[in-house]
Structure 1
Amino acid sequence: MDMPVTAQDLHATLTRLRTAQQRSTPDYRQRMDDLARLRAAFKARIEDFAAAMSADFGRRSRHESLLSDGMTVLHDIDFIRGRLRGWMRSKRALADWLFWPARTEVRYQPVGVVGIIAPWNYPVNLALIPLAAAIAAGNHVMLKPSEHTPRTSDLLKALLDEVFPAERVASVLGGPEVAAAFAALPFDHLFFTGSTAVGRKVMAAAAQNLTPVTLELGGKSPVIIAPGYPIATAVGRIAAGKFLNAGQTCIAPDYVLLPQTSIAPFAAEMKKYISQRYVDLAANADYSSIVNEGQYQRLAGYVDEACAAGAEVIELAAGDAAKRVFAPTLVIGADDKLAVMQEEIFGPILPLVAVESVDAAIDYINARPRPLALYHFDNDSARTERVLERTIAGGAAVNDTVLQFVQSKLPFGGIGPSGMGHYHGHEGFLTFSKQKPVLYQARFSSMKFMRPPYRRIADFLVKFLTR
């Protein structure tokens, strides 16, 4: 039986990683080799990871696991390896004209040891993509996988132990107490993915060491359906993003703002979509279970409260409480004070909110905390531009949902309550790098005329420069 991890163990692991990183920074060849070995080892076990995640959830769609936790990781590693040499290259330029002939340079250096706390909803993707970025930037890494997906976490630890030396990457298993102690370690950068509530605690713990943090949180990501947009098209694309992983996705559509006259057609189309795509929902292997009983009861509580408050609740198929299969559910007319309208849903419940116009939808969104994602369905480019210009969110997609996350050329990250900092592709490399500015002075320096005692030439220069 493994002994529980103590704070002393965590500090010892961090010291081992930092000592090794300070002794020798991985060069381009080492980073490329590390990423190649990680890719090969992960690819060989990709079906094992899908099976482990399904066992952890009770039931998880194999295809969704292979795409969302498999393809995304492989694609990101390939994207990094194809561009890493250019990213690592120092950027050189002449100094500002006043300081000629001096020149400048920006060097990209690893920050040191990066701590990563991964969540349970996409336990492989949200562990290995930031890890790959940190490795690409030349760092050593300490990873804390989620205790809510224990089989997947065990498999992650075995994978990383095989691929990396113990002084380059270390995995730490344990529950909330270990996670709290982990967040309090003096990392050179701490990367956390999870809820806003836990993110506050992580940031407070990191602040004691002035550890820079990247927080990938969540929030209530809205959807706007503009008047005249085809409802059937909108429903198909919203449902694909909402019911992926049974709604347990940080960027899943959280609620829909649409004209009152579109609510009944939307509900009818959604019921049709579910009946066609998820035949016999309770036994359908393409529809995932809720990860644990606590999360299932939280969702059930949202629905029960909405029913009691007089909202219209439409269950679109029959679920199975014993297997934690939560039915796709629409909620219409919910009061803003209800939990389903206040809290991030993180499940297959979708409130519909009637608004008079797109401008009213913009005002509704702007009166609430800034979301991680915003989705707008519209064929009017001027109106779409108005939505994008007047709202602030971590990211956005026009006429689709969720797919902005898998674009390696786009930064991913929230703002305010939905997070801070970015990663994916080049942004991940930059997040885990120190951009060190360097000035190289020439043999001749014009600055010698700006030293005491100040003479006429200094008077002239000061007058010229402050004109």
Structure 2
Amino acid sequence: MDAPAAPAKSLPVDPPTAVAELAPTLQRLRAAWQGQRPGYAQRRDDLRALRAALKAGLPRMVEAIAADFGHRPREESLLAEAMPVLSTIDLLLRNLRGWMRPRRVSAGWRLWPARAQLRSEPLGVVGVISPWNYPVNLALVPLATAIAAGNHVYLKPSEATPATSRFLRELLQEVFPADRVAVAQGGADVGAAFAALPLDHLVFTGSTAVGRKVMAAAAANLTPLTLELGGKSPAIVCPSYPPERAAARLATGKWFNGGQTCIAPDYALVVGGRERRDALVAALRAEALARYGDLSGQAGDYTRIIDQAQFARLQAWLDEARARGCEVLPLVDGHDPARRLFAPTLVLDPPEDIALMREEIFGPVLPVLAVDSLEAAIGFVNARPRPLALYPFSAERGEIERVLGSVLAGGVTVNDTLLHFAAEHLPFGGVGPSGMGAYHGRAGFDAFSKQLPVLWQPRRSASDLLRPPYARLARLIGFLLR
């Protein structure tokens, strides 16, 4: 047996920002932006400097995240935090000049010879409230995109990852002057006051419950919002798809980062009844054993639950499922509250009214339900709030199209999980209770810009004729109304 894992190193953390400091900091950021809006050269240089600083700081990043989680595999932090940020910056740099260029659009023949264009103009100061589950990725991807769009940025990272928040502050201070990017630290009181600031745009990533509060706070200033929330993202496994392959891909999506992923599959609907369900359960058990073995040892490739409160929540939900007579299947040994090590667990055919089926799980617990038909699976999903992600598994294109044509979700990965988030040119966002607005790639650049419509009128214009007496214009008006 491996030696027990060493406890995560305790790193220094920042004191909270005083609520009274928030408004003056925003004023400083806005005054600097109004004094000199960032042009192409500054945006390009800022993105290059941020990329270089993050690359140089990867060891510090990995250490900080591991300290906050108690343990997270280095590889997961590099793949889930560093890679998306570096990929985003590379995409922004490749496309920045073209995206900044005004786009010609038709003014319509009735306004001939006028010409029209759309200009992507920066908004001003973009606020970012980022969560704890991917504390670098979900802070720096929107931040870098807002910088590319020519904005200044005010970041409020999560208080649940204090070591990573300190790393972010130090990283950003290396790259940006204090009047271009600022960081606010603190708990719920600071977060609430931050959401109520008169920002030019606010990006929030977190739970639907907190998202409602953020939206209410922002409403007083009519602050435009991008809300990246969560919900119960379903997987639908059809009989035509091999259960072993489905299990492998569900295992990655569900147990990566200890299940603490907003687009992790939240439950699996297995079409074809209990026999097909049991085949998937057996394949998931084999995957867990092959990936993690006995977690009683070092468990170096398995991320811990972020804190005791989240661990206790998950445990209480499993206890409720057992009390209701559900079959609860831990897939490996080594479940350990002292280390916040929550073993991968399945719950078979739970009733719809227990917490596991009402709330987003956000942990390594997967309900697996047998359904008789694809229509029953679609009906089950559609009877619930629209999910952030949807994962249909089928070897038949017709079945996939039936799902895509019947279920509306924030995003879809077909025959896999999570990967639509990483597709550079696909917008990422929710729908309804799972969020509003989208970013990533060009969608993010446009979201953090004002698409300014401009009509250029030549020296001569038909509008010069639009004056009384109107009777003489009868023929012209008739022509325009064709």
Give the structure-2-normalised TM-score: 0.95
Q: State whether structure 2 residue 302 is matched by structure 1 residue 290.
A: no
Distance 2:307 2:211 in 1: 21
1:344 aligned partner: 360
Name the CA shift for 1:18/1:391 in 2 (closer, same or farther; >3 Å). same
1:95 alignment partner AA: A
State how far apart, in whole Å, the 1-side matches of 2:251 and 2:224 are. Answer: 37
**What is the correspondence of 1:188-227 to structure 2 with a 5 Å cutoff?**
188-227=200-239
Task: Tell me the CA shift for residue 4 of structure 1.
Answer: 4.4
Letter matched to residue 41 of structure 1: A
Aligned length: 466
1:355 deviates by 1.1
- Show structure 2 runs of 5+ residues with no match: 1-12
SS in 1 for 2:470: coil
Which residue in the other structure is 2:421 paired with? 405
Query: How do residues 139-154 of structure 1 correspond to structure 2 at under 5 angstroms?
Result: 139-154=151-166
* C-alpha separation in 1, matches of 2:67 and 2:18: 28
**Match for 1:277 among 264, 281, 291?**
291
Partner residue, 1:166 = 178
Give the deviation of 1:157 after TM superposition: 0.3
Residues 1:130 and 2:142 aligned together: yes
Could you tell me how far apart the structure 1 residues matched to 2:340 and 2:23 are?
Answer: 38
1:401-420 Cα distance to aligned partner (Å, 9 max, x none): 00110111100000110000
Work out which of the residue numbers 249, 253, 274 in structure 2 matches 1:237: 249
Cα contact 1:57–1:289 (8 A) shared by 2: yes
Map of 2:9 onto structure 1: none
**Counterpart position of 2:122:** 110
Show structure 1 runs of 5+ residues with no match: none
1:57 aligned to which of 58, 61, 69: 69
User: How far apart are the structure 2 equivalents of 1:104 and 1:2?
Assistant: 50
Q: Quick one: which of 438, 461, 467 aligns to 2:476?
A: 461
Q: Which amino acid aligns with 1:452?
A: P
Match of 2:282 among 223, 245, 268: 268
Give a deviation string over 1:178-214, Cα, whole Å, max 9, x none: 0110000000000000000000000000000000000
Q: 1:79 aligns with which of 73, 83, 91?
A: 91
Q: Contact 1:94–1:100 at 8 Å: present in 2 too?
A: no
Q: Which moved more, 1:446-455 or 1:7-16?
A: 446-455
Structural RMSD (CA): 1.2
> C-alpha displacement at 1:2, in angstroms?
7.0
Aligned partner of 1:48 among 23, 45, 60: 60
Q: Does 1:381 find its partner at 2:375?
A: no
Corresponding residue SS for 1:224: strand
Q: Provide Cα deviations, 1:418-447, integer angstroms capped at 9, x if missing partner.
A: 000111111111110001001111111112
CA distance in 2: counterparts of 1:152 and 1:200, whole angstroms: 26
* 3-state DSSP of counterpart to 2:268: strand
What is residue 5 of structure 2 aligned with on the other side? none
Does structure 2 retain, via aligned residues, the 8 Å contact 1:116–1:190? yes
Equivalent residues of 2:251, 2:284 under 8 A apart: yes
Identity %: 57
Choose the corresponding residue for 1:328, options 344, 355, 359.
Answer: 344
Cα distance in 2 between the residues matched to 1:406 and 1:2: 31
